[in-house]
């Protein structure tokens, strides 16, 4: 297909960029960011990762592209961590295919070494689908990663094949509530009840909670009342190119 052909050339044509979306604490400080891949294709224009990531996974291209994103994200974050303190973190989305086809622990160690980012500044975002994979010794891989000091976040929480036993069995540090649960706050009483329960459960399990897709001050007020740890969404900022994120954090650190 056209998309496949264009994807094969995208890395060598330098068509990818990593954007960074601020993650804001309860006391309104920028504590970290999520790295998000962007693709401007010479032939197809801007294509969303929601569209091209699944194709990359099928073609195996997620391996070189995923490595490139991780390296770029860590390279940029190393500057921010040294200026703004070792508590600053960057989160990077990981595809399940990367864990199945690649030695992620070896990759992460070599990228951290190369970029001089400290392990505690890196969080890998994984999905419920990965945790549901009973082959590929996922638990051992995640335990080995955690032992290097890297943190693990469960992304899109509540939308996959969620099982609460995952929260206990896997060495997770953060939980990201999917924006599906956030978008109708505070009017939808069922969403209010679920978000409130997720935050209190996470807090009791010593997991930091990130609410994703926060767009309104009413949503923010609701989440603040529940002492949600971190906020991410257009209310604060959309994902930004590295240079603009750099400006943003100098203002809002």
Q: Is 155 in the site for Na ion (CB under 5 A)?
A: yes
**Residue 116 CA neighbour count, 13 Å, CB half:** 5
Longest dimension (CA), the chain: 50
Q: What stretches of 178-225 show up as alpha helix (H) in DSSP?
A: 179-182, 189-204, 217-225
* Strand ranges, E, within the chain: 16-25, 30-41, 45-47, 89-93, 122-126, 151-157, 174-177, 208-211, 230-231, 240-241
Q: Is 219 in the site for Mn ion (CB under 5 A)?
A: no
Q: Is 15 in the site for Mn ion (CB under 5 A)?
A: no
Burial 28-46 (b: 16+ CB within 10 A, else e): ebbbbbbbbbebebeebee
Residue entry with tokens 């603009």: 244
Write out the binding residues for Mn ion, residues 187-216 only, by CB under 5 A.
none
Write out the binding residues for ligand G, residues 138-197 only, by CB under 6 A.
155-156, 179
Q: Is 21 in the site for Mn ion (CB under 5 A)?
A: no
Tokens of 195: 């978000």
Nearer to ligand G, 16 or 170 (CB): 16
- Give the contact letters, 70-99, x = binds to ligand G (CB under 6 A), - = no: -----------------------x-x----
- Give the contact letters, 192-221, x = binds to ligand G (CB under 6 A), - = no: --------------------xxxx------
Q: For residue 70, give the nearest of 120, 136, 115 by alpha carbon.
A: 115
First to last CA, the chain: 45
- Give the contact letters, 104-123, x = binds to ligand G (CB under 6 A), - = no: --------------------
Write out the binding residues for ligand G, residues 14-73 only, by CB under 6 A.
21, 36-37, 48-50, 53, 69
Write out the binding residues for Na ion, residues 67-96 only, by CB under 5 A.
none
Nearer to ligand G, 49 or 186 (CB): 49
List interacting residues with ligand G (CB under 6 A): 21, 36-37, 48-50, 53, 69, 93, 95, 155-156, 179, 212-215, 233-234, 239
């Amino acid at each position: 297909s056209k998309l496949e052909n264009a994807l094969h050339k995208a890395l060598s044509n330098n068509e990818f960029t990593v954007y960074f979306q601020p993650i804001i604490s309860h006391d309104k400080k920028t504590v970290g960011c999520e790295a998000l891949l962007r693709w401007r294709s010479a032939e197809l224009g801007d294509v969303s990762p929601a569209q091209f990531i699944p194709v990359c996974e099928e073609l195996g291209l997620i391996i070189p592209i995923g490595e490139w994103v991780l390296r770029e994200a860590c390279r940029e974050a190393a500057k921010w961590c040294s200026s703004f303190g070792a508590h600053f973190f960057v989160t990077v989305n990981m595809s399940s295919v990367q864990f199945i086809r690649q030695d992620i622990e070896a990759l992460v160690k070599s990228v951290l070494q190369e970029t001089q980012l400290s392990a505690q500044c890196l969080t890998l975002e994984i999905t419920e689908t990965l945790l549901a994979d009973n082959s590929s010794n996922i638990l051992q891989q995640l335990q080995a990663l955690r032992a290097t000091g890297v943190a693990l976040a469960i992304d899109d929480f509540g939308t996959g094949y969620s099982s609460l036993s995952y929260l206990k069995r896997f060495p997770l540090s953060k939980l990201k509530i999917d924006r599906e649960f956030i978008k109708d706050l505070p009017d939808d009483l069922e969403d209010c009840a679920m978000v409130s329960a997720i935050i209190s459960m996470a807090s009791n399990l010593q997991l930091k909670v990130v609410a994703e897709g926060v767009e309104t001050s009413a949503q923010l007020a609701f989440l603040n009342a529940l002492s949600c740890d971190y906020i991410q969404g257009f209310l604060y900022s959309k994902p930004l190119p590295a240079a603009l994120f750099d400006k943003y954090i100098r203002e809002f650190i």
